[in-house]
Structure 1
Amino acid sequence: MKNLAIIPARSGSKGLVDKNIKPMNGKPLMGYTIDAALGSGVFDAVMVSTDSEKYAEIARGLGAEVPFLRSERTASDSASSWDAVTEVIEKYKEMGKSFDTFCLLQPTSPLRTSEDIRGAYDLFTEKKAKFVVSVCETEHPLSWCGTLPEDLSMDGFIERAGANQRQKAKKSYRLNGSIYIAVIGAFAEDNFFYRDGSYAYVMSKRSSVDIDNEEDFLYAELLMNRGL
């Protein structure tokens, strides 16, 4: 089975400008994901999907391959990561290269480890899965969450029976956006991951830190520096 790692690193970040190449402890942010992918030992190719020649040069210097840049369509704000994945698979086919699975690794998860990636692939193999999606435990029970009306009334926000039952609440989990594995044939038929044949790979909260803004960046850097 041939496995492809795809690291999406578009240059048009608005929340934190150029976050994918922003230095964290002297290394471009996406370098941590490239290192984790290469160190996992499960991929036949580790590639970065980007629209920027500058990003491409940095990625190549970090050990990833960038055989082509994104098209104008997948470089736009409206394009999803799955649009980029589809383009990558098609481009490789045009180059005479085919893969059985792909793994999407967001570069904004610098604390995700090679062990996390191997663990996700082990689960994928063990379950004979079509898809594996990484998750982590939620910070609070789902019973503490709800929507608010315009007048901000809390009436009915929490059910009376469960108001003081936090310790008895079942564990709940959320997507952490770090690892998405798919059989390429199944993805081509239907790119909806949350269905029969899909399984969750549970990661620690530390490994699940996702960088969207400056505060996230500083927090991840702090955890990394302190070895927490």
Structure 2
Amino acid sequence: MSENKRIVGIVPARGGSKSIPRKNVKLLGGIPLIAYSIEAGLRSKYLDRVIVSTDDPEIAAVAREWGAEVPFMRPAELAGDLATDLPVFEHALRWLEEEGYRCDAVVQLRPTSPFRPPACVDEAVEVLLSGNADSVRGITPSGQNPYKMWRIEDGMMQPLLDSEFAEPYNMPRQELPDTFWQTGHVEVIRTATILEMGSMTGHRIAPYVLDPAYAIDLDNELQWKFAEYVLDHWKLEIVKPNSSTK
């Protein structure tokens, strides 16, 4: 735990996954998917609590088995397919305040991004603590540059982005600005950003750049198969729970 700050980890895990049924408790490498994110929080030297927000009793039971707290059940209206992060985190933080626990910042650990470098959480927290950002978000270099992306309007292609360059889609990629996409590995948000600004990011968003090798998000069966392959064949250093203790 930080010497002067209270920081809580929250793992959001609803029960209604459609693309991969029961995804959060599905075994990946013999371990429930959600356990990877719980373990990443438990190993952090800055987090003094790791809490799972879920509407699902089975997920709650698995989360407790792997060391997380589940002090409340998420209301059904915050667990639908279109549920967004902000009300989920407002609910969790308000519940904790009513319990008498007020934190300075929260770390979101999404189960769908299980492959985290060992220092990921602590390094991201340190970015927030060392500056004046409202939040920190994990990002990785984008595989495709958005200056070369398109939308279709009235049957014709239009550049996705307005650009200071003439025809950036015809330029060598080396001459275009570096771009990044956000991953789900780690987000560190000041409590005031959520409860006072009503935002999951605020205006000042600091980057935490991850190696693209870790940028595996599990949203469909093909990605799941790839994650299994990575576990079996890549020597990727990740935070992985110890199944032998369960």
Residues 3-18 of structure 1 mapped to structure 2, 5 A cutoff: 3-18=7-22
Q: Counterpart of 2:196?
A: 189
Per the TM alignment, residue 188 of structure 1 is displaced from its structure 2 partner at its CA by: 1.1
Q: Counterpart of 1:45?
A: 49
Bigger CA drift: 73-82 or 158-167?
A: 158-167
Question: Of 76, 94, 99, which aligns to 1:95?
Answer: 99
Residues 164-175 of structure 1 mapped to structure 2, 5 A cutoff: 164-175=171-182
Q: Counterpart of 1:129?
A: 133
Q: Counterpart of 2:208?
A: 201
| Letter paired with 1:34 | I
Per the TM alignment, residue 175 of structure 1 is displaced from its structure 2 partner at its CA by: 1.3
Q: Counterpart of 1:73?
A: 77
Q: C-alpha separation between the residues in 2 aligned to 1:69 and 1:157?
A: 41
Equivalent pair of 1:37/1:114 in contact (CA under 8 Å): no
How many residue pairs get aligned? The number is 227
Q: Are the structure 2 counterparts of residues 165 and 86 from structure 1 closer, same or farther at C-alpha, using a change threshold of 3 Å?
A: same
Per the TM alignment, residue 174 of structure 1 is displaced from its structure 2 partner at its CA by: 1.1
Secondary structure at the residue paired with 2:209?
A: strand
Structure 2 segments unaligned to the other structure (5+ residues): 237-246
| Letter paired with 1:140 | Q
Per the TM alignment, residue 154 of structure 1 is displaced from its structure 2 partner at its CA by: 4.6
Q: Counterpart of 1:217?
A: 224
Q: C-alpha separation between the residues in 2 aligned to 1:90 and 1:101?
A: 13
Secondary structure at the residue paired with 1:206?
A: helix
| Letter paired with 1:80 | T
Equivalent pair of 1:177/1:210 in contact (CA under 8 Å): yes
**Structure 1 length-normalised TM:** 0.91
Per the TM alignment, residue 179 of structure 1 is displaced from its structure 2 partner at its CA by: 1.7
Residues 130-169 of structure 1 mapped to structure 2, 5 A cutoff: 130-151=134-155, 153-154=156-157, 160=167, 163-169=170-176
Equivalent pair of 1:20/1:30 in contact (CA under 8 Å): yes
Per the TM alignment, residue 155 of structure 1 is displaced from its structure 2 partner at its CA by: 7.3
Percentage of matched positions with identical amino acids: 28
Give CA deviations for 1:16-61 in whole Å, capped at 9, x if unaligned.
1111111001000011111111112210100111111111110000
Per the TM alignment, residue 109 of structure 1 is displaced from its structure 2 partner at its CA by: 0.5
Q: C-alpha separation between the residues in 2 aligned to 1:82 and 1:156?
A: 31
Q: C-alpha separation between the residues in 2 aligned to 1:35 and 1:126?
A: 24
